Amino acid sequence: MCGLAAAWSQPYRELYRPQFHFSPRQNWTNDPNGLVWFDGEYHLFFQYNPFGDTWGHMSWGHAVSSDLVHWQELPVALAEENGIMIFTGSTVVDEHNTSGFCSGGKPCLVAVYTGHTPRTSTGNQLQTQNLAYSNDRGRTWTKYSANPVLNLNLPDFRDPHVFWYAPARRWAMVVALPTEDKVLFYGSSDLKHWARRGEFGPAGGAGGQWECPTLTEVPIEGSNPLRTRWVLKVGLNPGGLQGGSGEQYFVGGFDGASFTNDNPASTTLWTDYGKDCYCALTFNHLPPTEAPVMLGWMNNWQYADKLPTAPWRGQMAVPRRLQLRDGPDSLRLVQEPAEEIRSLRQNHFHWSGTNVVELNGRLRSHPAGETSFELDAELPTSSQGEIGVRLLGANGTYTTVGYDADKHELFVDRRHSGLTAFSPQFPARTAAPLAVAGGLLDVVVLVDRSTLEVFAQHGDVAMTTLFYPPQGPLAQEFFAPEARPGRIAVERWDLVSAWSAARR
């Protein structure tokens, strides 16, 4: 215990602390909020409890980055006040001062968030949409004196995603009616006055409350001239594919008032096939040449308050670039780790051949130098049985990333990964359907102490998983149905810590 306490005393070097994923210095965090690019900075706001490491007193924490990798945590941006918590929402850049909040002839930031008033002995729960604004690059904020700007007198009405819809020259909002499995669409010329335009749902997965909607115009891969389609992403809690919270998406058209689904209403498409990616949002106001970037909370409501971390609890997944890819089942979402992560690479390991025993021998003689690393592999899948890699920890612990050729599925198994007993829902083997064309699996594995993210077939499948192995390095050991399953190619890089005293 003394050693553990000593480890926790070193900021951003604590046991289980991710080194290239954002987590606040201390206390609880959940949903990302208000993701926006402005004046050379990516802004990450996030659900935050300033007073402890469990959910409560929800406010907006704040961090900024110039590269999506190195984050500087700033003071709380929007604090709980007068019994009203600050729930999830979005931030926009008001370039033409449509709101009247901007000063000095310059654009300003405007946050649109859900105000949550809990139920008390004298009143019912209430959720409304509200505004706050900043004229100093998001460092200080003023709440609009005439809040709320949208009130349906409902206990569950939350998580507005707001963006500028240029064809109609107005702001658009998508906001959830959680208990009805619907989202509503609103329009506004000034962010203060909103008119209802349309609705969508129920459709797809409807086994729990719909939350955290986002509506993003996404480019279609390889199209020339560039074509786009709209992606409506909706959180589902409970009712996620792997149990607990999860997220689905719909591909279609948006005309500023309504969303048209390209697929049958019964079609359910999942953004992530792991257990631990929720309330992923996209950044507003990115430069026109930059592909959409999505960032999610790396957790699951089944056990979020039980995670064995201190002095923080909760973290974000790696930022992901988005595209749509045309395939046999029409357009599907593609997610790949933001290329900025590559700036952390060092100590390159490379091997190719057909002998798994030889590969594992090379890996043993060239172990990873960091507890955070990237592993890229091309694996043959034409044989029957399973092929993949085990991440080996101390005391016989291991986590498996593999492909089952018989079932045609990619899987991650953390049942033997280390610390799992803090929740009966935590030990799990999760799987994603994946037909591998040409018999060659391309897989990228990002390991960051307590985080494991897997991307297959250049982003066709994403799987996000928390795990808590014993302290120390994780060795890699490949397995296959036979000693020579076919050509294997492996690359590995250590990923150095993104945290430094100058950036905290």
- Sequence-separated (6 or more) residues with CB below 8 Å from residue 72: 63, 64, 65, 503, 504
Beta carbons of 283 and 295 less than 8 angstroms apart:
yes
Report mean pLDDT in 10-residue bins for the chain, 504 residues.
46 94 98 98 98 98 98 98 97 98 97 96 93 98 98 98 97 98 98 98 94 98 91 97 97 97 97 98 95 98 98 98 94 98 97 98 94 97 92 97 97 98 98 93 98 98 98 96 95 94 43
- Considering the domain architecture, whether residues 267 and 361 belong to the same structural domain is answered as no
Do 322 and 402 belong to one domain?
Answer: no
Among candidate residues 201, 212, 211, 209, the one with its CA nearest the CA of residue 179 = 209
Q: Distance (Å, rounded) from C-alpha 323 to C-alpha 460?
A: 10
The first and second tokens of residue 225, run together, are 């001239």
Angstrom distance (rounded) from CA 68 to CA 40: 11
Q: Look up residue 317 and give its amino acid.
A: A
pLDDT of residue 202: 97
User: Are 419 and 278 found together in one domain?
Assistant: no
The total domain count for the chain is: 2
How far, in Å, CA of 455 to CA of 22, rounded?
A: 19
Q: Measured between alpha carbons, how far is 188 from 179 in angstroms, rounded to an integer?
A: 25
Residue 11 belongs to some domain of the structure: no
CATH of the domain at 198: 2.115.10.20
Give the Cα separation of 19 and 21 in Å (integer): 6
Q: Of the listed 31, 156, 272, 276, which one is catalytic?
A: 31
Burial 239-258 (b: 16+ CB within 10 A, else e): bbbbebbbbbbbbbebeebe
The answer to whether the peptide bond before residue 167 is cis (omega within 30 degrees of 0) is no
295 and 366 inside one domain: no
CA torsion sign for 231, 234, 239, 245 is positive
What pLDDT score does 68 carry? 98
In a domain? residue 67: yes
Q: Round to whole Å and give the CA distance between 85 and 57.
A: 6
In a domain, 10, yes or no: no
Find out whether the peptide bond into 225 is cis, omega within 30 degrees of 0. Answer: yes
Whether residues 72 and 219 fall in one domain: yes
Q: What is the pLDDT of residue 108?
A: 98
**Residues 74-126 pLDDT 10s:** 999 999 999 999 999 999 999 999 999 999 999 999 999 999 999 988 889 99
* Whether residues 333 and 314 fall in one domain: yes
Same-domain pairing of 402 and 310: no
The verdict on 449 and 425 lying in the same domain is yes
177 in any annotated domain: yes
Six-digit token string for 310: 């201190």
Q: Report the 10 Å Cβ neighbour count for 112.
A: 25
* 31 given a catalytic annotation: yes
Residue 175 lies in a domain: yes
* Rg, C-alpha atoms of the chain: 23
Task: Please check whether residues 281 and 403 belong to one and the same domain.
Answer: no
The helix or strand, by DSSP H or E, that contains position 122, with its residue range, turns out to be none
Do 272 and 405 belong to one domain?
A: no
Q: Residue 6 domain-assigned?
A: no
Question: Which CATH number covers residue 403?
Answer: 2.60.120.560
Q: Can you give the residue range of the structural domain that contains 353?
A: 345-495
Euclidean distance between CA atoms 463 and 444, whole angstroms? 11
Answer positive or negative: Cα dihedral of 40, 45, 51, 54: negative
Residue 298 lies in a domain: yes
**310 and 391 co-located in one domain:** no
On whether the CB atoms of residues 281 and 300 are closer than 8 A, the answer is: no
The residue out of 337, 361, 396 marking a domain boundary is: 337
Are 301 and 409 part of one and the same domain? no
What span, in angstroms and rounded, lies between the C-alpha atoms of 247 and 237?
Answer: 8
Under DSSP, is residue 343 helix (H, G, I), strand (E, B) or coil? Answer: helix
Q: From 337, 363, 388, give the residue that closes a domain.
A: 337
444 Cβ contact partners less than 8 Å away, ≥ 6 residues apart: 336, 337, 374, 375, 376, 454, 455, 456
Q: How far apart are CA 369 and CA 492, in angstroms?
A: 11
Contact (CB, 8 A) for 280 and 247? yes
Which of 307, 337, 367 lies at the terminal end of a domain, its last residue?
A: 337
